[in-house]
């Protein structure tokens, strides 16, 4: 046999690793549940706007009690929200929340889908939402998902009438209702029909709710008890829901389990009438498919005879059902759909019944196009069953084997997987091109709706099980053993030979002065030798003193100094970097995300940085910073010349705070640091003695409250905000020092702000604080809680709901100047 020269046959005992934590082996009771699901042909699609909008208890109930194919379509990836666990914002936050949603779906048993809509931040109404989202484009995505998922029933989380609060919420319901009406009409989005077929769901509901002080439920509505207990899983649906929702860690949505009856309410919006149940009159048995009645009877017999202590005894009958599925005619699109879906389910059940475990593990987590990487493919049959390894196909090479697998023996095949020269670099498909304000750009129709990319490399395993060939695909992954975490898996990455990382996405230069930027060039393979070049647009000066790159080993890095200087009259520029190797130019930058609760994530993009020249003066230099949930303000302040010291709890309690001209608390510091109450006295004494304390926004809601004192006098943090970044700003106290020292602040300083003016404004019922700004979203009353200032002792206390955490990293000049004025508020005479 051709593979013998590559074959290393190992026979040993083995314990199941954490493998592919995304698809762990099923227990015998879980196999029985999957068999029961195999006998149901109904489907339901839940639609809302964001990660966390979904009703996880209802999803768990539909997936495991009703045994329906269940999906959640989140229109966005949550890119515009806040981050409780780190500094990531925008697209990087969307990456985190995508993985958190996938973890939630692995918990509750549903599937995950997305549209191309970009979460641009909080929106107060659907009209504003659709000024950013291309409504027709997002509608086409919803129709596309419906036509492919083919739900019998659609459920909206929110209504079209606005009770959901967020404009995205209302927009999601509007789009769901419109898509319900047109998904079955071939005149709508006909370009999709070369890949799929039209589909008309039977009915659509609104899942009414009672939370946030608003009760939209009614006893006149359809209601269903979803609080049951699933003996096969050993959990109630309330317990499953809590575990699912607790995956949303970047939002701080850890949830407590619920047990006992729990009703969900539904208002029907359109479709055939239903009185008692979501699926009234809808056939969810195999009889809906021509030739399906015999399959129903065969699966029912397998369930009746299933031996929970010996699942492998069901394999012959399961293989017989597989052959029945293969013989179904696909002339009917619905038959093709259910045949494809049930084959996928059945193949997984057969693997679990046989106790078959398969893995393809590479020796490194990265590989270059055109290169090859050693891979160890392992297979073990852990139950007594007739299984033959017929073929192993990797990197377009197929190898005949005809190897009869012996129970509980681990077979290992060492070989090299080649990566095609044409292989694209790994990066999330929706981030391969720069997105616009409201949507990601995805040119491949077949990728739209998918939660994430497929594996960079995969291998085909052809098994003959009980005499019938069944084909499987396994991803090539990388694994290693961590001394604390144990066995750790990560996806295989296809990368360029090197990456070039610039220090920040935006680099700020103060008062026309040049400075040195440090670029990091990292080798992804041995012996990288090249030359770095940089260019700056708009006439800005950029020079590399030592451009030659010599990196001996994969993983080696070189720090290259680039001197950059603004040019008068050109407020911004773009710096591009590239390295030329053997006539080829490489210009990719990499950004990585590493959290324990999700797989390693990264993006590749052009090695560019925006350069911004700001005319700004500062008073004081030494800034103390108390970290919160995570933001980029410290590095932003360092860019414009401040010395920033990160203050830990001991430094606050025992250190000399008078050394700092100002102290700033990071976003949500009072939500995330339980010792802030303990620090209250020290911080107030600091202010009394002449210091400036600037407190950035905190939240005060059911998820993240503020149980501590913040300022010298009480004030209340609200959910008020101004989401229009262009909203007019009124100076309530134009004579206040905050507008004059050390920078003169004018209306022009509020130009160019991004996403919003501010969030979580404050109210001051005792009128102890000075309110210096007023602003309003369109057609709303003016709000004056974005910036509260109080002279206290010789110093000043500030509560800032203004979105500095977004504006400074974006290089907004006016935000820098105003923040500098807050840091430099004048010391008062001793009172």
pLDDT recorded at residue 764: 92
Identical fold for domains 42-277 and 617-823, yes or no, is yes
Residue 575: CA atoms inside 13 Å, Cβ hemisphere, count? Answer: 32
Alpha helices in 617-714, H assignment, sequence order: 633-639, 649-654, 669-672, 676-688
Q: Where are the domains of the chain?
A: 42-277, 306-419+456-493, 498-613, 617-823
pLDDT recorded at residue 568: 95
Is residue 141 over pLDDT 70? yes
Is residue 798 over pLDDT 90? yes
pLDDT tens per residue across span 359-416: 999 999 999 999 999 999 999 999 999 999 999 998 767 777 889 999 999 999 999 9
How much of the chain exceeds pLDDT 90, in percent?
Answer: 88
pLDDT tens per residue across span 312-365: 999 999 999 999 999 998 888 889 999 999 999 999 999 999 999 999 999 999
Give backbone dihedrals phi and psi of 350, rounded to 5 degrees, phi first. Answer: -60, -45
Q: Considering only CA atoms, which of 400, 284, 290 is closest in space to residue 336?
A: 290
pLDDT recorded at residue 829: 75
Contacts of 344 (CB under 8 A, 6+ apart): none
Distance spanning both ends of the chain, measured CA to CA = 93
Which single residue is written with the structure tokens 């706007």?
49
* CATH architecture designation of domain 306-419+456-493: Sandwich (2.60)
Strand stretches in 274-347, DSSP E: none
Is residue 636 over pLDDT 50? yes
- 42-277: CATH topology is Rossmann fold (3.40.50)
pLDDT recorded at residue 21: 36
pLDDT recorded at residue 12: 27
Which single residue is written with the structure tokens 């999803």?
59
- Picking from 331-335, 641-645, 811-815, which range would have the lowest pLDDT averaged per residue? 331-335
pLDDT tens per residue across span 446-487: 999 999 999 999 999 999 999 999 999 999 999 999 999 999
Are 87 and 668 in contact by the 8 Å Cβ rule? The answer is: no
Parallel/antiparallel/unpaired status of strands 153-156 and 111-114: unpaired
pLDDT recorded at residue 248: 92
How large is the average pLDDT for residues 716-726? 94
pLDDT recorded at residue 701: 57
Q: Give pTM, 2 decimals.
A: 0.90
Distance of alpha carbon 737 from alpha carbon 586, whole angstroms: 50
Please list the residues that pair with 762 across neighbouring strands: 717
- Note if the bond before 31 is cis, omega within 30 degrees: no
Give me the chain's average pLDDT, please: 93
Q: How confident is the model at residue 708 (pLDDT cuts 50, 70, 90)?
A: confident
Neighbours of 58 (CB within 10 A): 25
pLDDT tens per residue across span 183-192: 999 999 999 9
pLDDT recorded at residue 377: 95
pLDDT recorded at residue 23: 60
pLDDT recorded at residue 13: 28
Is residue 98 over pLDDT 70? yes
CB-count exposure of residue 367 (10 Å: 0-12, 13-18, 19+): buried
Q: How confident is the model at residue 236 (pLDDT cuts 50, 70, 90)?
A: very high
pLDDT recorded at residue 705: 54
Distance of alpha carbon 681 from alpha carbon 687, whole angstroms: 10
Are 386 and 467 in contact by the 8 Å Cβ rule? The answer is: yes
- 498-613: CATH topology is Immunoglobulin-like (2.60.40)
pLDDT tens per residue across span 203-232: 999 999 998 789 999 999 999 999 999 999
Q: Which DSSP helix (H) or strand (E) runs through 269?
A: strand 263-271
List strands edge to edge, sheet with 541-544.
Answer: 498-501, 515-523, 557-565, 541-544
pLDDT tens per residue across span 282-296: 999 999 999 999 999
pLDDT recorded at residue 769: 97
Is residue 6 over pLDDT 50? no
Measured at the alpha carbon of residue 343, what is the angle toward residues 337 and 347, in degrees to the nearest 5? 155
How large is the average pLDDT for residues 482-500? 94
Distance of alpha carbon 150 from alpha carbon 288, whole angstroms: 14
Is residue 700 over pLDDT 90? no
* CATH architecture designation of domain 617-823: 3-Layer(aba) Sandwich (3.40)
3-state class (DSSP) for residue 724: coil
Residue by residue, DSSP assigns 549-561 as EEE-STT-EEEEE
pLDDT recorded at residue 25: 83
How large is the average pLDDT for residues 495-522? 96
pLDDT recorded at residue 396: 65
How large is the average pLDDT for residues 431-443? 94
pLDDT recorded at residue 830: 63
pLDDT recorded at residue 503: 87
Can you give 349-394 as a three-state secondary structure string?
HHHHHHCEEEEEEECCCEECCCCEEEEEEEEEECCCCCEEEEEEEE
Are 533 and 577 in contact by the 8 Å Cβ rule? The answer is: yes
Residue by residue, DSSP assigns 58-71 as HHHIIIIIS--EEE
Is residue 4 over pLDDT 50? no
Is residue 17 over pLDDT 90? no
CB-count exposure of residue 734 (10 Å: 0-12, 13-18, 19+): exposed
């Amino acid at each position: 046999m051709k593979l013998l020269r590559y074959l290393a046959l190992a026979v040993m005992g083995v314990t199941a690793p954490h493998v592919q934590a995304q698809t762990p082996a099923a227990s015998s009771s879980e196999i029985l549940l999957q068999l029961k699901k195999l006998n149901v042909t109904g489907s339901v699609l839940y639609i809302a706007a964001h990660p966390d909008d979904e009703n996880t208890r209802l999803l768990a109930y539909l997936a495991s009690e009703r045994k329906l194919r269940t999906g959640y379509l989140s229109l966005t990836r949550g890119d515009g929200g806040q981050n409780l666990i780190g500094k990531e914002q925008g697209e990087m936050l969307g990456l985190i929340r995508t993985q958190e949603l996938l973890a939630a779906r692995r918990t509750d048993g549903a599937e995950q889908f997305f549209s191309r809509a970009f979460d641009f931040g909080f929106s107060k109404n659907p009209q504003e939402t659709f000024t950013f989202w291309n409504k027709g484009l997002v509608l086409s995505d919803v129709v596309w998902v419906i036509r492919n998922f083919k739900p019998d029933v659609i459920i909206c989380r929110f209504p079209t009438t606005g009770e959901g609060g967020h404009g995205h919420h209302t927009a999601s319901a509007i789009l769901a209702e419109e898509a319900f009406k047109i998904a079955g009409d071939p005149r709508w989005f006909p370009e999709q029909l070369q890949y799929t077929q039209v589909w008309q769901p039977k009915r659509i509901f609104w899942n009414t709710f009672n939370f946030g002080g608003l009760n939209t439920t009614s006893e006149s509505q359809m209601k269903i008890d979803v609080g049951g207990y699933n003996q096969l899983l050993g959990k109630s649906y309330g317990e499953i829901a809590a575990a699912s929702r607790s995956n949303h860690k970047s939002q701080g949505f850890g949830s407590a389990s619920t047990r006992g009856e729990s009703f969900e309410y539904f208002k029907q919006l359109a479709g055939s009438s239903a009185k008692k149940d979501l699926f009234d009159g809808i056939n969810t048995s195999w009889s809906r498919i021509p030739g399906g009645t015999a399959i129903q009877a065969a699966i029912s017999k397998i369930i009746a005879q299933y031996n929970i202590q010996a699942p492998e005894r069901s394999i012959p009958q399961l293989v017989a059902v597989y052959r029945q599925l293969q013989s179904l005619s696909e002339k009917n699109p619905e038959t093709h759909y259910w045949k494809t879906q049930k084959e996928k389910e059945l193949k997984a059940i057969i693997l679990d019944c046989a106790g078959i475990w398969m893995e393809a593990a590479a020796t490194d987590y990265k590989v270059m196009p055109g290169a090859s990487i050693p891979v160890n493919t392992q297979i073990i049959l852990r139950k007594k069953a007739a299984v033959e390894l017929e073929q192993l196909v990797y990197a377009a090479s197929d190898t005949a084997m005809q190897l009869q697998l012996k129970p509980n023996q681990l077979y290992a095949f060492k070989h090299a997987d080649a990566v095609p020269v044409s292989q694209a670099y790994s990066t999330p498909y929706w981030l391969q091109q720069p997105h616009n304000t409201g949507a990601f750009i995805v040119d491949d129709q077949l990728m739209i709706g998918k939660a994430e990319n497929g594996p960079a490399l995969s291998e085909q395993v052809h098994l003959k099980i009980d005499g019938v060939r069944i084909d499987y695909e396994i991803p090539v992954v990388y694994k290693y053993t961590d001394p604390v975490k144990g066995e750790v898996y990560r996806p295989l990455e296809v990368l360029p030979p090197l990456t070039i990382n610039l220090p920040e996405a935006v680099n700020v230069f103060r008062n026309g002065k040049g400075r040195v930027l440090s670029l990091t060039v990292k080798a992804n393979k041995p012996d990288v030798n090249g030359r770095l070049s940089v260019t700056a647009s708009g006439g800005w000066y950029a020079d590399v003193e030592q451009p030659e790159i010599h990196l001996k080993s994969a993983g080696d890095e070189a720090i290259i100094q680039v001197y950059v200087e603004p040019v008068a009259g050109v407020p911004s520029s773009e710096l591009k970097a590239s390295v030329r190797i053997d006539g080829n130019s490489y210009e990719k930058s990499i950004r990585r995300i590493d959290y324990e609760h999700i797989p390693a994530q990264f993006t590749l993009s052009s090695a560019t940085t925006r350069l911004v020249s700001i005319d700004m003066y500062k008073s004081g230099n030494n800034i103390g910073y108390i970290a919160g949930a995570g933001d980029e303000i410290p590095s932003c302040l360092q860019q414009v010349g401040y010395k920033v010291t990160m203050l830990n709890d001991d430094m606050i309690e025992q250190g000399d705070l008078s050394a700092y001209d100002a102290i700033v608390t990071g976003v949500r510091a009072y939500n995330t640091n339980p010792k802030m109450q303990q620090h209250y006295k020290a911080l107030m004494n600091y202010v009394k003695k002449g210091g400036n304390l600037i407190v950035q926004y905190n939240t005060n809601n059911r998820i993240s409250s503020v149980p501590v004192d913040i300022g010298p006098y009480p004030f209340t943090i609200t959910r008020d905000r101004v989401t229009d970044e262009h909203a007019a700003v009124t100076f309530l106290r134009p004579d206040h020092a905050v507008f004059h020292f050390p920078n003169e602040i004018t209306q022009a300083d509020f130009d160019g702000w991004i996403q919003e003016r501010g969030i979580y404004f404050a109210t001051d019922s005792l009128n102890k604080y000075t309110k210096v700004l007023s602003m309003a979203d369109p057609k709303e009353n003016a709000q004056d809680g974005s910036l509260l200032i109080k002279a206290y002792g010789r110093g000043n206390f500030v509560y800032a709901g203004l979105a500095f955490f977004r504006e400074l990293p974006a290089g907004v000049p006016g935000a820098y100047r105003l923040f500098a004025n807050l840091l430099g508020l004048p010391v008062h005479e001793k009172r």
